[in-house]
Amino acid sequence: MFAVRDEDAALDIVQDAMLKLTENYSGKPAGELPMLFQRILQNTIHDHFRRQKVRSTWTTLLSALGHRDDRDDDYDALETLQARTDSNVPADPSAHAEQRQTMHFIEQAVSRLPPRQREAFLLRYWEELDVSETAAAMGCSEGSVKTHCSRAVHALAEMLRARGITP
């Protein structure tokens, strides 16, 4: 959904990726399937954008997909945070509403990230893949994953601070 910004297209892409996985890799060990699926999914998303560009009379700004000067940045701010074990749903209705509004702002901010940063961020922190798994799924180096994640975290923090949301 974050990659294509269209729920129907996202469902079609996931379905196509699942079909490709079962058709081509049904004999693979179960442990290899999640990484294969992530790679197939990313390729299917890329195919979607290629088809969309050909069919459409207008093109979207894809300059963020270009090759940038990616430097290896080992610092990842989100890796220093400890996950809380208690429930994320507040008992107080007003706190729950505030949390939902904050999540809406976060989703908007994530959708505004450049595609490669969004992809790295979502694979690392939503899908909980480690750096090497994310690099394999994205088809890039571990250093690039760290750079994309670092840039995404800083951009998200800036966008959320502009909305008055602080940790």
HEC letters along 124-164:
HHHCCCCHHHHHHHHCCCHHHHHHHHHHHHHHHHHHHHHCC
**What are the residue ranges of helices labelled H in the chain?**
7-25, 33-55, 93-111, 115-121, 131-138, 142-162
The reply to whether 82 and 162 lie within a common domain is yes
Q: Which of 34, 59, 84 is the last residue of a domain?
A: 59
Report yes or no on 89 lying in a domain: yes
The reply to whether 80 and 157 lie within a common domain is yes
The reply to whether 122 and 164 lie within a common domain is yes
Give the residue numbers spanning the domain of 2.
Answer: 1-59
Q: What pLDDT shows up at residue 166?
A: 73
Phi-psi region of 134 (alpha: psi -120 to 50; beta: other; left: phi over 0): alpha
Q: Flag the least confident range among 17-26, 52-61, 83-92, 127-136.
A: 52-61
Q: Which of 12, 30, 59 is the last residue of a domain?
A: 59
Q: What's the mean pLDDT in 48-55?
A: 70
Q: Flag the least confident range among 68-77, 88-97, 117-126, 149-158.
A: 68-77
Q: What pLDDT shows up at residue 130?
A: 87
Report yes or no on 109 lying in a domain: yes
> Tell me: the pLDDT tens digits for 102-134?
888 888 888 899 999 999 988 888 777 889 989
The reply to whether 81 and 159 lie within a common domain is yes
Q: What pLDDT shows up at residue 56?
A: 53
The reply to whether 47 and 79 lie within a common domain is no
Report yes or no on 138 lying in a domain: yes
